[in-house]
Amino acid sequence: MVVIVMGVTGSGKTTVGHALAQSMGWEFADADDFHSAENRAKMQAGVALTDADRAPWLDALHTQMRAWSAMSKHVVLACSALKQQYRERLTEGMDAAKIRFVWLDGPADLIEQRLGQREGHYMNPALLPSQIAALEPPADALRVSIAQDVPEIVQAICAQLVPEGYAEEKSFRKR
């Protein structure tokens, strides 16, 4: 089972993904770790990636997701997954019942504020407008507002994943 926490830069994918994985007792992975050095350099320089730039990254993520599935691993993956075609590539040939997208959504001004406070990340905050423009809101994702604290976001996600069968309530760790 793979839960993909998606959204634009600064929406909290990594922070929420880590917390969600911890609360569920699952593994966590960050799609940023799958980017090439060239892609990271472009983003750091404020250059938006093209679909061609993203293709090898999406292929690597797809391969990894298939491996997790083959090993019956439960993983929370933080991944922007901004366009429908990216989401389709990630999940191509996989059992849709074992994948759930969670969209972290919020107002641009809140995300800009968070990006202004973030340190040590290669993603240039100037790319937020291009990410917002590229975002194709997913029709089938669990949509969660980022205008709340991380524990509240995790609780909102878990409240949906349990009845949908993506997680078992007993597997959540007490904090």
Whole-angstrom Cα distance, residue 131 to residue 8? 6
Which is higher by pLDDT, 173 or 38?
A: 38
**CATH number of domain containing 81:** 3.40.50.300
Mean pLDDT within 45-59: 88
Write out the residue range of the structural domain in which residue 136 sits: 2-171
Which residue, among 104, 106, 70, 100, has the nearest Cα to 87 in the 3D structure? 100
DSSP, res 148:
S
| pLDDT given for residue 133 in this prediction | 87
CA 17 to chain centre: 7
pLDDT digits (tens, 9 = 90+) for 79-100: 999 999 999 999 999 998 899 9
| pLDDT given for residue 167 in this prediction | 64
Residue in this structure with the two tokens 């973030």, named with its chain if needed: 118
Could you give the number of structural domains in the chain?
1
